[in-house]
Structure 1
Amino acid sequence: MTKTGLLSSAALALVAGAASADMNFNRIASFPVTENFDGDVPKETSAEIIDATADGMTLVYTDSPAGVIGAIDITDPSNPRPLGTMAMDGEPTAVSIIGSTAFVGINTSESYTAPSGLVKAIDLTTMTEIARCDLGGQPDSTAKAPDGSFISIAIENERDEDLGDGRVPQMPAGDLVMIDVVEGSLDCDSLIRADLTGLAEIAGEDPEPEFVDINSLGETVVTLQENNHIAVVARDGSILSHFSAGAVDLERIDTTDERGALIFTERQPGRLREPDGIQWIDATHFAIANEGDMDGGARGMTIFAKDGTELFETGATLEHAIVQIGHYPDKRSDAKGVEPEGMEFGSFDGTPYVFVMAERASVVGVYDVTDPTAPVLAQLLPSGISPEGAVAIPSRGLLATANEYDGLEDGAARAHVMLYQYSDAPASYPHLTSAGADELIGWGALSGMVAGEGSTIYAVNDSFYSYQPTIYTIDASTTPARITSALPVTRKGRPAQKLDLEGITLDGEGGFWVASEGRTDRVTPHALYHIGADGEIEAEIGLPPELMAVERRFGFEGITKIGETLWMAVQREWRDDPEHHVKLVSYNLETGDWGAVLYPKAAPAEGWVGLSEITAHGDHVYIVERDNQHGRAAVTKKVYRVPVAEMVPGKLGGDDIPTVSKELVRDLLPDLTATGGYVLDKVEGLAITQAGEIFISTDNDGVDDHSGETLFLSIGMAH
């Protein structure tokens, strides 16, 4: 009987925590592939498929947009060093390394109807080409035999998605190529072409091989993605077995692009798997990643025996676990959700693991497959944007991922290679999870925080979830911190719209005051809202004419309460502000009077610098000041404080608005790299508990052009 692998809420809570486990994978370094270029960096770069030399000291990845392979020295894995790139005279699509020779699949096709390609052997000690073989078609993936005797190459001859509604068949058909490796080079005369036509029920005349892997018996398993089929091929090219990848009934998923709401109440019966990545677990079992492409996408992982017996299916449980750590990509709901795509396998200290890369969620699911019929989701690792390939290096206790997305055009992070160490240490991620709650709580785009009683913190999401403004209750006493409930913000009992919640503070009576950042191009007003304990909006306060006359869309980015006065931080300069100064705006709840002080912010080294949070505690007001830069370009990610005694508002529109002084509390750059990732740009939340402990959080932009990572961490005590 097939085991579905449906995990209970309690099991998911255990999975998401993982803090008590003895051995864990933790990220230790991130390498931006732009560092591998001397001089001008190409407009677009990528890191897609990756492998390691036999000694585990060098990584090689394919960079399709730049037409190169790149190499990284990981002698010290916590400090990867660039080794440069090598042009491939075509589009490199895959790489497998045997010893110190890289075998690179290269697409040279002139068109979909005239596909072509070759495989090159590259001596990595000299970075020179030592052999090449014509493949007679477009290569998509490569695999090496465990004994190093041959390589297999999936010749996809991919379809034109703009032709005939993008459906197969589209000729010429793809196939599988196997080539001997002799003395570290290619023996082109040994090339065997395995015919894969006539196997699948879906367009059997046009197989679309996608991913290959080779077991210890020299058998190649290959996914035919659009055909929803799998084949096992002997070394002589004969077909040992083949079967449909089948379908899955998905429950409690989000299948609708409802413009910004996480609603996991829908289902998809009979969803075709259409697998992409595939990995042998042992000589008789393998796992597939069910990305989907043409009609399918089952959002999870399946394990088969090579005779076609289905042993395990995750169903929607992998996606549910990803939802709980805030990595669910809502804009992909009407497509294929988190899209498991790439896979890797490795045995670490005797424990076999399958690594599943969820492309759209930018997460690596780590499954303990000691029992292939009952795998355990051991961890979820944060990756760069869109992990495509991975390589396990058990001899050194390392895992590396290649993350293909380059965010240059979108103002996001650029492509990275990331490294993880397997060691006796607690899991450092996630920092925040909703696992263990009574219901499946999706969350993301956290934009403001305030501390409640004890270790309770309240947070709001911003306008990314425009149809689902929410106040989250967080228990910050656990590791990871836990979202225990989600309170919808409503207007007349319905989800409130035209809100961009960027700050929250307590009203002292069980409710909240929130600040909404205005966007006139989205008909979202600059406003303050009083929200009751039930989430209903009880009052709305618009900005006075004096402020609206000088407003820009960079509005309120935090709110706090001192006595009967609300104070709001404006993100960037409005039209009447001096250069590099922004307003801290006041509103007196008793008199209705508005006022402001000026806050001096840093001049940007690049981009812009603004404010993103304000929180009162004791005799000071604490303010987050940040630039909009990622990674190594980031300079200003800091917490300052201003004496409450200086928060005496001047009259709006006048010349007597006072300028406050500020004192540095903490430079956050070391905190933002504590989990081995690149610096995230949006530090949006800051809360200080009654005991004085300071928590910060980052905004993950709803996992849109973003890795989805949310950092939620304590930075010590207010002093």
Structure 2
Amino acid sequence: MKKSAIALAVGVALSGLLTACGGSDDDPVDVPSVSNPGKFFNRLATFAVCSQVGASCEDSTPTAAEIVAVSEDGMTLVYTNSLKGEVGFVDIGDPANPKALGRLAMGGEPTSVTVLGSHALVAVNTSQNFINASGKLVVVDIAKRTVVTEIQLGGQPDSVARSMDGKYVAVVIENERDESLGNGAPPQAPSGYLTIVDSVGAPATWKTRVVELKGLATLFPEDAEPEYVSINDDNVAVVTLQENNHIALVDLASGKVTRHFSAGAVTLNQVDLTDAPRPNIVSLTQTQANRLREPDGVTWFSKTQFATANEGDLNGGSRGFTIFNSDGTVVYDAGNTLEHLIARIGHTNDKRSDAKGNEPENVAFGRFDGTDYLFVASERSSVLAVYDMGQKNQPMFKQVLPAALAPEGVLAVPSRNLLIAASENDDRATSSTLRSALNIYQYQSAPAAYPTIQSVNRADGTPIPWSAMSGLVAATSGTVVYGVDDSFFRGNRIFEIDTSVKPASLKREIRITDPNGKIAALAAALPAAKDANAFDATDLAALVNPDGSVNLDPEGISLASAGGFWVASEGNGTVGEAARPVLSANLVFKLSAIGVIEDIIELPADVNAKQQRFGFEGIAESNGKLVVAFQRAWAGESQPRIGVYDLAAKTWQFMFYPLDAVTSPNKGWVGLSDITALGNNRFLVIERDNQGGPDARVKKLYRIDLSGVANGATLSKTLVRDVLPDLRKTNGLVVEKIEGLAVLANGDALLVNDNDGVDDNNGETWLLNLGKLNLN
């Protein structure tokens, strides 16, 4: 691809421009001018909401940060925690080191918050049920963190905004429907409306007015469900009615609806609309005609134009955002470009492909250093896309920012060069990586830190979709590495990645195939009579798709000295455990350079008889031998195995690896991931716990030496690097699964994490260059 000087300066921005222009990686692309090409937003800190409960975040009680506002001096964040029925306060005087300031109970479920003067205005749902709806606006003294007064709203509020001049507060009263009633569709009484609060004078004297929104929309006119509100400098409120696929403009002074119109529909091309039946493969080949936008978040960015995040609800969701004139005309629609951007950076949540895709949840606007920016938050892919709005009616993609799981509220704070996003998902009991958080970004003179990997386009102009990077190996020379995806994508591929550029360029995909029936041939070696839960011919057949691609669990990859690759596929299931029957064995596959299975190596039968569900994780070829790392100990053993297979003699030997003790406050386990050959029988291994975020403790690289070690002996290990500090430098919640390790020809060590296919995961993939390690 020919890159202009602007493209080189903008860096990551190029990916979105390629998508928007529809070019391929090998074609010249005209790159529009982008304001402030040397300035980008980068994540400065992540404030885990659990730290309000205890500084060490050892409490598993679910929390949430849904909507966030900031004090007028820009020093204190106020966020809603609906799960706990409270608002929280955070000191961002030093935004790189946010500090908990405490919580305040709201006597109901807070749904939104804004700031007016010295007060936080919190919309609180106090409804008994869907029919008996009620709510209040709670006025809070930010400095004292006390309730000043409460204003009854008469219905269930969902969004609140204040006018720039402070004269008005607009509160959306959604009165949401019961989705478990019938088919969950409207109409369901009571209908929603807009409440205007005349906010001049002391809060105790404020009065309310109701603006009726029934009868406006063509869809469900008797049941308006307003969702979000934003106010422009002329004191005109724009209100989205998501389920009605409608937008209303309300003059706050008069309390009248001055204009309303349908949000319209979009035809989406080259998107993935299929999740089930599996195998799950991101296939950007389908078309969705006349998809209702059903907008959620909305923001004015001038007196006459606003943007919507088209999340969708009932039968809609256009997977992007739209810019409207105030007369209802559409001047820009993102179409499929946001979906393509997310596929390009490995953040596609394929389990949502058959629903609403990445689900843009919210939008925000801010002017930073003279440049107007639009921020679009994707709930399902956990990113914020940043657009330069300097060219009228033509947003230009600037960059993408990672966020903790499911960003909801987005807030621009230009006075302090900050951007805040509130991520609401929190489930420590299920996964330690899921902690609700406030993401803090800073506009700075620095290159964009994320993404670290992005793919080029296929011949059809769509990006190579990728995710779940589980293994890594370096080419014998240069800066190319090869990665592999794991069992989440049941049509496995090898990826060729050029690390000489930033972000690294995933420039080729090699699909693993079995045209010669090598997997089926293993059936002849299976015993005739077996336990019903054991690995059998039916299980073998399930490892191959009708198109010849395969359903393996590649966890490790190595170059083969004879050409092509070795791939270690982790077995599925535990021997003797009915709840986890053995559906596949741990197998080593020899692949050609184009991914064709040429040979399969099995473990000895007596070792297979001990199989646990934590098997092969890494593989390396060195000196005529294959060395594989088992993740955890198998049945009757206290330590995981390091297997050594002699390629000439076709025999196995096994040593045992001494793991570090579990030290995380969330317990869990410690195991091995990748293994990399260093020469002279020395290897570098990843040792990690299954913890992320505040609970992460063990993320280390150790060196082992197999010279003279007898079969069955326990190895010794030497700490090379604790990479937990490296992972913390991303300023996010520490990723759990560091699973790929490679050493380039120049000695630089590369580390990559597995993002679990964005399944209960925020999708971040960090390809970190650790530099040259001390391997003595």
Scaled by the length of structure 1, what TM-score is found? 0.95
Distance 1:128 1:552 in 2: 54
Helix, strand or coil at the partner of 1:182 = coil
- Greater Cα shift, 515-524 or 72-81: 515-524
Work out whether 1:150 is the aligned partner of 2:168.
Answer: yes
Residue number among 623, 627, 648 corresponding to 2:689 in the alignment: 627
Per the TM alignment, residue 549 of structure 1 is displaced from its structure 2 partner at its CA by 2.2
Work out whether 1:347 is the aligned partner of 2:371.
Answer: no
Residue 555 of structure 2: aligned partner = 502
Contact 1:98 1:184 in 2 (8 A): no
Contact 2:513 2:596 in 1 (8 A): yes
Per the TM alignment, residue 377 of structure 1 is displaced from its structure 2 partner at its CA by 1.1
Distance 1:55 1:479 in 2: 36
Per the TM alignment, residue 278 of structure 1 is displaced from its structure 2 partner at its CA by 0.1
Work out whether 1:58 is the aligned partner of 2:76.
Answer: yes
Contact 1:338 1:360 in 2 (8 A): yes
Contact 2:35 2:388 in 1 (8 A): no
Contact 2:60 2:427 in 1 (8 A): no
Distance 2:242 2:198 in 1: 26
Q: Label 1:19 to 1:134 Cα distance change in 2 as closer, same or farther (>3 A).
A: closer
Per the TM alignment, residue 15 of structure 1 is displaced from its structure 2 partner at its CA by 9.3
What amino acid is the match of 1:417? L
Work out whether 1:442 is the aligned partner of 2:465.
Answer: yes
Per the TM alignment, residue 41 of structure 1 is displaced from its structure 2 partner at its CA by 4.4
- Greater Cα shift, 689-698 or 433-442: 433-442
Residue 28 of structure 1: aligned partner = 44
Work out whether 1:582 is the aligned partner of 2:616.
Answer: no
Written as runs of structure 1 = structure 2, the 5 A alignment for 1:595-614 is: 595-605=653-663, 606-614=667-675
Residue 770 of structure 2: aligned partner = 715
Contact 1:437 1:483 in 2 (8 A): no
**Paired-residue identity, %:** 45
Contact 1:180 1:186 in 2 (8 A): no
C-alpha offsets along residues 647-687 of structure 1, whole Å, 9 cap, x if unaligned?
Answer: x451xxxxxx1222211111111111222111111000001
Residue 15 of structure 2: aligned partner = none
Residue 374 of structure 1: aligned partner = 394
Contact 1:197 1:206 in 2 (8 A): yes
Distance 2:289 2:700 in 1: 49
The unaligned stretches of length 5 or more in structure 2 are 1-18, 517-546, 574-580
Q: Label 1:14 to 1:641 Cα distance change in 2 as closer, same or farther (>3 A).
A: farther
Contact 1:228 1:274 in 2 (8 A): yes
What amino acid is the match of 1:373? N
Residue 302 of structure 1: aligned partner = 322
Residue number among 256, 263, 266 corresponding to 1:248 in the alignment: 266
Helix, strand or coil at the partner of 1:307 = coil
Q: Label 1:625 to 1:15 Cα distance change in 2 as closer, same or farther (>3 A).
A: farther
Distance 1:694 1:184 in 2: 62
Distance 1:206 1:607 in 2: 48
Distance 2:303 2:23 in 1: 33
Residue number among 465, 479, 502 corresponding to 2:502 in the alignment: 479
What amino acid is the match of 1:560? A
- Greater Cα shift, 637-646 or 389-398: 637-646
Q: Label 1:446 to 1:19 Cα distance change in 2 as closer, same or farther (>3 A).
A: farther
What amino acid is the match of 2:134? S
Residue 654 of structure 1: aligned partner = none
Residue number among 444, 451, 456 corresponding to 2:480 in the alignment: 456
Scaled by the length of structure 2, what TM-score is found? 0.88
C-alpha offsets along residues 410-448 of structure 1, whole Å, 9 cap, x if unaligned?
Answer: 213211111000011100000110045655211111111
- Greater Cα shift, 92-101 or 404-413: 404-413
Residue 614 of structure 2: aligned partner = 554
The unaligned stretches of length 5 or more in structure 1 are 651-656
Written as runs of structure 1 = structure 2, the 5 A alignment for 1:503-522 is: 503-520=556-573, 521=581
Helix, strand or coil at the partner of 1:104 = strand
Distance 1:263 1:617 in 2: 38
- Greater Cα shift, 489-498 or 340-349: 489-498
Residue number among 438, 455, 458 corresponding to 1:417 in the alignment: 438
Distance 2:31 2:353 in 1: 24
Name whichever structure is richer in strand by fraction: 1
Contact 1:303 1:311 in 2 (8 A): yes
Distance 2:180 2:120 in 1: 34
Distance 2:336 2:582 in 1: 34
Contact 1:446 1:699 in 2 (8 A): yes
Task: Name the count of aligned residue pairs.
Answer: 703
Residue number among 534, 539, 548 corresponding to 2:599 in the alignment: 539
Work out whether 1:81 is the aligned partner of 2:142.
Answer: no
Residue number among 719, 724, 729 corresponding to 1:669 in the alignment: 724
Per the TM alignment, residue 552 of structure 1 is displaced from its structure 2 partner at its CA by 0.9
Q: Label 1:590 to 1:77 Cα distance change in 2 as closer, same or farther (>3 A).
A: same
Written as runs of structure 1 = structure 2, the 5 A alignment for 1:61-210 is: 61-183=79-201, 185=203, 187-188=205-206, 190-210=207-227
- Greater Cα shift, 210-219 or 161-170: 161-170
Residue 244 of structure 2: aligned partner = 227
Per the TM alignment, residue 645 of structure 1 is displaced from its structure 2 partner at its CA by 2.2
